Chain A
Amino acid sequence: MRRLGYQAAAVAVALIVVGYLAHNASVNLEARRIASGFAFLEREAGFEISESPFLRYGASNTYLSALLVGIGNTLRVAAIGIAAATLLGAAVGLFRLSKNFLLRTLAGGYVEFIRNSPLLVQLFFWYAVITEALPMPREALEPLRGVFLTNRGLYFPAPGSVPALEGFNFAGGFVLTPEFTALLLGLTVYTAAFIAEIVRAGVLAVGRGQWDAALAIGLTRGQALRRVVVPQALRVMVPPMASQYLNITKNSSLAVAIGYPDLVSIANTAINQTGQAIEGVAIIMAVYLTISLSISALMNWYNARIARR
């Protein structure tokens, strides 16, 4: 009976709080003449988006298509970031375990410095490096033939299209904008430092005896790593890696600070234009929750698969 009483009280408090807030919101929205609901998604957005690699988008398209472009941009930077951070992080984590003093120390310094400063500072730093340290298009750096590094973006040759200087900027080829490059670089370098620690802990969690046994039966160090240590280390590593992948996806929302048009920055523009704050924030949260749950489900499935082997 007491148990039931506590729970009923908790539900009642939760309902009263939510009801009170909802009441205030409806009064306030009426006073400001904002129609609540998602009807605004069908209206014309009226703003341009600087990059949209997947969908054709123009200012006359709807808010819905603008948000879809944002989701595409979020997923693009998160997916590439996850792959790049995994590679870099795995390398740095193994370097930290190297016999070579110099390699070990440099990798350790990297992890220590990157993990102890905010990602947002690092994003601004990379953005400043690209826009301040790289030359203008007319004096572009050309480290490889056809590849041009400028403060307006990085240009690469694509099949059937080579970047060429036209007026004040390059045209043609495949371009990485300064915003995308800074965001990707920032997310990768930052998250790799955390992944490196996971990889290091994962390898250390495999007992010394496993190494010795693998070497004793005549495997080389490389074979021992691939066939004996990594499969066992993976089991320890998968859950924390999953949360780092989630972090990359969530942290990609910092794009709004350097002007990369991800979901959050487009939803933010929509909120400012329409005043539909509740709907805008609800959309952001719903999309991220969906992505988070999908990544968790995927990693749980993978975890179950490797645990069975």
Chain B
Amino acid sequence: MKWLRASLFSDPLTSAVTLVLVVLLWKILPPFIDWAFIDAVWRPDARACHEASGACWGFIAEKHRFILFGTYPFEQHWRPAAATVLLVFLWGFSFVRAFWRWWLALVWLAGLTSIGVLMWGGVLGLPHVESGRWGGLILTLLLASFGIALAFPLSILLALGRRSDLPVIRALCVGYIELIRGVPLISVLFMASVMLPLFLPSGLTMDKLLRAQIALILFAAAYFAEVVRGGLQAIPKSQYEMADALGLTYFQRTLYVVLPQALRIAVPPLVNTCIGFFKDTSLVLIIGLFDLLTTVKVSLTDPRWAGFGIEAYLFAAAVYFVFCFAMSLYSRRLEAGR
């Protein structure tokens, strides 16, 4: 009672706002609950869906295999499923600060190799599946994981280059970072999908997935570099001076004194940048890759199931939300000093 008074009815204005909100919720919530739950159709029955006044979650039930795994051979779906679980486990493992050691790189190498074997096959009695048939959730997770894993080292080089006292190197790095940050991701993806083939020696072709992955890495590196630079700038000048006084070379100073401190500072904002990057991988839909969002969109082209876009995209948003929200909780915990 006391809480109600203090937080909802403390003065006339607050009470008025509360009343307006309660009326609004009263108008919006019951119809929404009717639509989403009470009148909704849960079984995969297209006719029942079209006749019902509520949501058609049956659409998700019908299409979930395609949405999650794309055009991967149906009887082999356990492979992308296992790869997804493995990848999520790898990320969860890397979130623990105590595991931030050099051998974490080996764990990732082993994990990614197993995922590659699972997805490609061709060995251990697994039938070969070409990368053109990979799709759905695992493709989104792979694009994001390889993007983050490879953009990160590149971004450290760019950030160090931008802080370098060699004017030419600094100019090259500033030019690259500002160019990439000044244009939309979609133009970088277009570059990879329609321009890159022109730049390769004739006769050499490159996988579409690989081209998009390169574009994502080059794009993410520019954004990560700015965050790493923030970490570098936060280190007091005295640290540099002390390292120099000890007679360390540039590389020793950077590797043993500057980077360990700078990266520790940069990790929480980096996780936030990773959330943005994870969401941005959905843009590969525009150049025709079969990521999670593309499989959702393609499911909607089935004429028997046309017209359930609202349900389909709410589901897609929910899947992305789970991953992004987990990352944002993690970043907040890091910021609070665990």
Interface centre among A11, A117, A125, A250 (most CB of B within 10 A): A117
Are the CB atoms of A102 and B321 closer together than 8 Å? no
Indicate whether A83 reaches chain B with its CB closer than 8 angstroms: no
In angstroms, Cα B217 to Cα A86, docked, is 31
Are the CB atoms of B194 and A281 closer together than 8 Å? yes
Query: B172-201: which have CB < 8 Å to A?
Result: 172, 179, 181-187, 190-191, 194-195, 197-201
In angstroms, Cα B318 to Cα A203, docked, is 31
In angstroms, Cα B186 to Cα A6, docked, is 34
Query: B296-323: which have CB < 8 Å to A?
Result: 297, 307-310, 312-314, 316-318, 320-321
Q: How far is the CB of B326 from chain A (nearest CB, A)?
A: 9
Indicate whether B22 reaches chain A with its CB closer than 8 angstroms: yes
Are the CB atoms of A277 and B166 closer together than 8 Å? no
Q: How far is the CB of B180 from chain A (nearest CB, A)?
A: 10
Indicate whether A242 reaches chain B with its CB closer than 8 angstroms: no
Using CB atoms, name the residue of chain A closest to B166: A7
Are the CB atoms of A100 and B280 closer together than 8 Å? no
Using CB atoms, name the residue of chain B closest to A8: B168
Indicate whether B10 reaches chain A with its CB closer than 8 angstroms: yes
Q: For B320, give its contact among A21, A117, A254, A278 (CB under 8 Å).
A: A117
Q: B-side binding surface: helix, strand, loop or mixed?
A: helix
Contacts of A27 in B (CB 8 A): 201-202
Contacts of B166 in A (CB 8 A): 3, 6-7, 10
Indicate whether B118 reaches chain A with its CB closer than 8 angstroms: no
Given contacts A250-B183, A289-B182, contact A281 B309 (CB under 8 A): no
In angstroms, Cα B287 to Cα A271, docked, is 13
Q: How far is the CB of A23 from chain B (nearest CB, A)?
A: 9
In angstroms, Cα B161 to Cα A6, docked, is 12
Contacts of B261 in A (CB 8 A): none
Q: Would you give the 0/1 interface string for A243-286, flagging 1 where the beta carbon is closer than 8 Å to chain B?
A: 00000001101101100000010001001000001101100110
Indicate whether A205 reaches chain B with its CB closer than 8 angstroms: no
Given contacts A100-B7, A257-B286, contact A29 B321 (CB under 8 A): no
Contacts of B21 in A (CB 8 A): 100, 102-103, 106
Are the CB atoms of B198 and A121 closer together than 8 Å? no
Q: For B280, give its contact among A106, A118, A131 (CB under 8 Å).
A: A118
Indicate whether A112 reaches chain B with its CB closer than 8 angstroms: yes
Are the CB atoms of B187 and A120 closer together than 8 Å? no
Are the CB atoms of A101 and B169 closer together than 8 Å? no
Contacts of B317 in A (CB 8 A): 117-118, 121-122, 125
Are the CB atoms of A116 and B198 closer together than 8 Å? no
Are the CB atoms of B283 and A120 closer together than 8 Å? yes
Are the CB atoms of B198 and A264 closer together than 8 Å? no
Q: A-side binding surface: helix, strand, loop or mixed?
A: helix
Q: For B309, give its contact among A3, A118, A128, A284 (CB under 8 Å).
A: A128
In angstroms, Cα B13 to Cα A103, docked, is 12
Indicate whether A129 reaches chain B with its CB closer than 8 angstroms: yes
Q: Would you give the 0/1 interface string for A42-66, flagging 1 where the beta carbon is closer than 8 Å to chain B?
A: 0000000000000000000000000
Interface centre among B22, B282, B307 (most CB of A within 10 A): B282
Using CB atoms, name the residue of chain B closest to A104: B7
Contacts of B168 in A (CB 8 A): 7, 10-11
Are the CB atoms of A24 and B201 closer together than 8 Å? yes
In angstroms, Cα B199 to Cα A277, docked, is 11
Indicate whether B333 reaches chain A with its CB closer than 8 angstroms: no
Are the CB atoms of B198 and A24 closer together than 8 Å? yes
Q: How far is the CB of B76 from chain A (nearest CB, A)?
A: 27
Contacts of A288 in B (CB 8 A): 182-184, 187
Are the CB atoms of B328 and A116 closer together than 8 Å? yes
Q: For B8, give its contact among A102, A113, A133, A292 (CB under 8 Å).
A: A102
Query: A28-45: which have CB < 8 Å to B?
Result: 28-29, 31
Q: For B286, give its contact among A11, A29, A127, A256 (CB under 8 Å).
A: A256
In angstroms, Cα B179 to Cα A285, docked, is 9
Indicate whether B17 reaches chain A with its CB closer than 8 angstroms: yes
Interface centre among A24, A27, A102 (most CB of B within 10 A): A102
Using CB atoms, name the residue of chain B closest to A102: B21
Contacts of A128 in B (CB 8 A): 309-310, 312-313
Are the CB atoms of A116 and B187 closer together than 8 Å? no
Q: Which residues of chain B have a CB within 8 Å of any CB of chain A? A: 7-8, 10, 14, 17-18, 21-22, 166-169, 172, 179, 181-187, 190-191, 194-195, 197-202, 275, 279-280, 282-283, 285-286, 293, 297, 307-310, 312-314, 316-318, 320-321, 324-325, 328
A sample of 27 cross-chain residue pairs with beta-carbon separation below 8 angstroms, ordered by A number, consists of A6-B169, A7-B167, A7-B168, A10-B172, A11-B168, A24-B200, A24-B202, A28-B197, A28-B199, A28-B200, A103-B21, A113-B321, A115-B324, A116-B321, A117-B318, A120-B283, A120-B285, A121-B313, A121-B317, A125-B310, A129-B310, A132-B309, A250-B185, A251-B184, A268-B190, A288-B187, A289-B179
Q: A102-B18, A285-B187, A289-B179 are in contact. List 18 more A-B contacts (CB 8 A).
A: A7-B169, A24-B202, A28-B202, A100-B8, A100-B17, A103-B21, A117-B317, A118-B280, A120-B282, A128-B312, A129-B310, A132-B307, A251-B184, A253-B184, A256-B186, A271-B190, A285-B179, A288-B184
